[in-house]
Structures are given as structure tokens and as C-alpha cells.
Amino acid sequence: MNRVEILSQGDEVITGQTVDTNAAWLSEQLVLMGFDIVRHSTVGDSIEDIREALSQASQRVDLVICSGGLGPTDDDLTAEAVALLSGSPLEFDAQALALMKDMFVRLNRSMVKANEKQVYLPKGATRIDNFWGTAPGFIVSYKHTLMAFLPGVPGEMKAMFEHGLKPELLKHFDLQPSRRIIFRTTGVGESNLQEKIGKFEHEHVCLSYRAMGREVQVKLRFSAQCKAEELDKHCRYMADILGDCVFAIEGWGQGPVGNLAEVVVALLAAKNIKLVCAEGASGGEFMRLVSLSAKGMSFIKKGYYFAEPNDLHEMLNLQGGSPEEPHYFHLAHTLRSTSQADIALIITPFDSVKSKEGDSIAKSAQCFLVSGHGQLCVSDQVTGSDAYCQHAISYRALNLLRKYVL
């Protein structure tokens, strides 16, 4: 059996100062490797609590992965707790010290006496080297359970898992890895996707959904028993049934990958399309998403933020006084021609949507797109926090761009 418990350790986690993201990350990796996760536990900086948690876990599972408590300070007690549990003393590890000294030189930091504590590991432990920080990790066997210890800093923990621990686990356990394919969609809600897909119960494949803002991911996890043709068949079926709300597929096929902004940016770059935009409702979020994905590509050189149509009118230096009614298509044409861009996009400011009783129940905005081949406009209505509304309307605009360019 390949049953796992994840143990997180530290006062900052147990008191809620830090949200534990390590447990979820480790679980996701381990599930894909073929492990069965049965419990997460967290204890504070108490040697007895750590010992007790490890002892209890050893009765439940075949593998414990513990993160945290390997630092240089007095409240880092994990190695001592392991020594107490197993009855093996801590031993000085000369190679670990040499590696740590190198690291301090590279970081241009001075090593203090307290750091030496970190290279005392339980006798008989297999060391996991840390090339990303100072605390080495280690693996011990206790009764029938393998126990691995990694630092709590997420960056170090992840790198050491990938490069040090994972190869060891593949040696120790007879695993049936599964394969995960993610269909990334936008523009259709989770319940509508569920309705589209309907009953999807097949051997060797497990369907799940994950909604993140306006992106809904449809995830398929295929067990090792699933044949390649069967996997392809299920993925083709899913791609067909979902249709053009899928903007990327991770792990299968030759289509686009990445988040929506990355996909749109790649499309624009591939077709050498220059974009200019003016955003109201999205308040900077549209430009932020695009500029983050652009990574120095110069296809978007100018952007405008405006609170009211008149402000955009002024920014574009248009003559003829303020327009009583905003002529967004006119503004978009001007924007496009003055910027020598191929596509101009305007996201209007939000209007309040009111109920019959006059309460504000939602916000609405429009996206206007003008190119050399035509023009179009879509309306959108959103509810939620201000940050969510900015994000949602930005996603709407990105998806409009994606569909237009395709």
C-alpha cells in the first residue's frame, strides 16, 4: 500500500499566521505519482507534539512527509523529535556542513554558530541536500514507515522534493502514476459545464472541476491502467463537447497552453498584431494581465485608463467638446489610428445595474473592439468584490480578443 500523511510543523502555521500551502502542493504531486493521501496534520513547535504526531502517523501510513522545523533557532525541533521517537542520536554530518558553508559564500551572507545545529541529523538518516537554502532535509525509516523531512520555506521544499526526495520515493515504492489533463475554459459557468458534460463515468478516469475567478478547469485524471488510445478518445470527446470555451489544454495535444492572457498574447505575437487599449471598469487589471504575459514583447506599447468617456476624449486630444453620449466606436477608431495599432480595445467604466426596488445588484460594462476588418461590441454583467469585478471584466475582454483573433 502507498498511504501517505503530510505533516506540517510550526507555531506560525498552527496559530494561523501562515496559510499552509505546502500540504496542498505536496498532496497534488503525490497523487499524480500514485500515492493515496489519507491525512494532513499540523502541530506547533513542541517536541512532544511532533513526536506524538509522527508516532501516530506511523500507525496509519507507509510514508510521512514533514515540512518545517529544520531552521537554526531554538524553536526548530523536528530533528530532535525524530531522535526522541527513534532512539537514534543526532550526529554531526561533515558533508552537510561543507555544503552549507558553500551556500553562505554564494549568498554572500555570514554563517552564524546557530546554523551548525542544522547539520546534526538522526543517525542512519539519508540526507537530502539543499541547494536552494541552508537547511538539509533527511529521510529515516521508523517501523514500517518511511519518513521524509523537508524545510518549510516553499521554494526550498519544492525544489528538494523534485530533485532529492522524489527519486528516492520512486525507488522505495511500487507506484502506478496517473496522468492529469486540464481543459482550461472561460465564459461558461461551472454548473453549465457540468450540464454540457453530463454523466462521465468511465474506468481509469476521474473527472473534477476547479473554478478560479472566470476560469473553470475541467480536470481528467487517468490511472496508469488507462491505455493511450483510451486516453486520447476521452480527451477528444471532452475537447469536442466543451468547444471553444476551452482556451488551453495542459498535458494533451498540440494546442495552446498557459493562462488566458498568455494564450491571447501568444496569438497576437504569432500574427504580429499590435494592440492598443483604453480601460475603465478593469481599472488597470487588463493591462496588468497583458503586460505580465508579454514579457518584453512590444506588441502593446500604449494603454489608457479613464474614469469617464470625456476623459478618454480629452486624452485622445479630440476636438469638438465633450460628447454628450459616449461614441465608443468613434473613440476606438481614433485610438487605433493615432496609435498605429491593428486592434483597439475599449473597456468602458462600470454602470450600476439596479433592481426594480432601486438597489444596486450588479455592475455592467461593454468591450468595444475595432480592427481593420470590422468592429464589435459585447456587454457583460458582473457581481462580487471590486477586485473580482475588475478581474472578471478583464477576462471577458481577453476572451473577446481571443475569439476575434482566432
Instruction: Please choose, from the candidates 59, 262, 68, 42, the residue with its C-alpha nearest in 3D space to the C-alpha of residue 144.
Output: 59
Beta pairing class for 63-67 and 126-128: unpaired
Residue in 154, 189, 253, 284 binding a copy of itself, rule: CB under 8 A: 284
Least separation in angstroms between residue 234's CB and a copy of itself is: 19
Least separation in angstroms between residue 229's CB and a copy of itself is: 27
Residue in 55, 126, 194, 291 binding a copy of itself, rule: CB under 8 A: 291
How far are the Cα atoms of 158, 212, 274, 322, 332 from residue 343, in angstroms, in the given order?
41, 28, 6, 24, 9
Residue in 163, 202, 302, 330 binding a copy of itself, rule: CB under 8 A: 302
Q: Does 85 bind a copy of itself (CB under 8 A)?
A: no
Q: How is 3-64 classified by DSSP, letter by letter? A: EEEEEEE-HHHHTTSS---HHHHHHHHHHHHT-EEEEEEEE-S-HHHHHHHHHHHHHH-SEE
CA 356 remoteness from chain centre? 40
Is the Cβ–Cβ distance between 290 and 265 less than 8 Å?
yes
The Cα 406–Cα 247 span in angstroms is: 11
Cα–Cα–Cα angle for 112, 125, 13, nearest 5°?
60
Residue in 108, 317, 319, 355 binding a copy of itself, rule: CB under 8 A: 317
Least separation in angstroms between residue 93's CB and a copy of itself is: 27
Q: Does 154 bind a copy of itself (CB under 8 A)?
A: no
Contacts with a copy of itself, 349-368, as mask; x by CB under 8 A = --------------------
Contacts with a copy of itself, 194-233, as mask; x by CB under 8 A = --------------x-x--------x--------------
Q: How is 222-248 classified by DSSP, letter by letter? A: E-TTS-HHHHHHHHHHHHHHHGGGEEE
Cα within 13 Å of Cα(5), Cβ side: 21
Give the DSSP H or E segment for 126. strand 126-128
Residue 300 or 332: the one with the smaller Cβ distance to a copy of itself is: 300
Least separation in angstroms between residue 335's CB and a copy of itself is: 11
Is the Cβ–Cβ distance between 122 and 81 less than 8 Å?
no
- Per CB under 8 A, the segment of 72-80, 99-107, 230-238, 282-290 that binds a copy of itself is 282-290
Q: Does 390 bind a copy of itself (CB under 8 A)?
A: yes
Residue in 8, 134, 145, 348 binding a copy of itself, rule: CB under 8 A: 8
Q: b/e for 39-69, b at 16 or more Cβ within 10 A?
A: ebbbbbbbbebbbebbeebbeebbbbbbbbb
Contacts with a copy of itself, 11-50, as mask; x by CB under 8 A = -xxxxxxxxxx-xxxxxxxxx-----xxxxxxxx----x-
Residue in 102, 162, 232, 308 binding a copy of itself, rule: CB under 8 A: 308
Q: Does 305 bind a copy of itself (CB under 8 A)?
A: yes
Q: Does 181 bind a copy of itself (CB under 8 A)?
A: no
Residue in 300, 332, 397, 401 binding a copy of itself, rule: CB under 8 A: 300
Q: Which residues pair with 140 in a beta bridge?
A: 147
What are φ and ψ of residue 248, in 5° steps? -160, 150
Q: Does 304 bind a copy of itself (CB under 8 A)?
A: yes
Is the Cβ–Cβ distance between 138 and 125 less than 8 Å?
yes
- Per CB under 8 A, the segment of 10-18, 112-120, 238-246, 266-274 that binds a copy of itself is 10-18
Binding site for a copy of itself (CB under 8 A): 8, 12-21, 23-31, 37-44, 49, 53, 56, 208, 210, 219, 283-292, 295, 298, 300-308, 311, 314-315, 317, 339, 386-387, 390
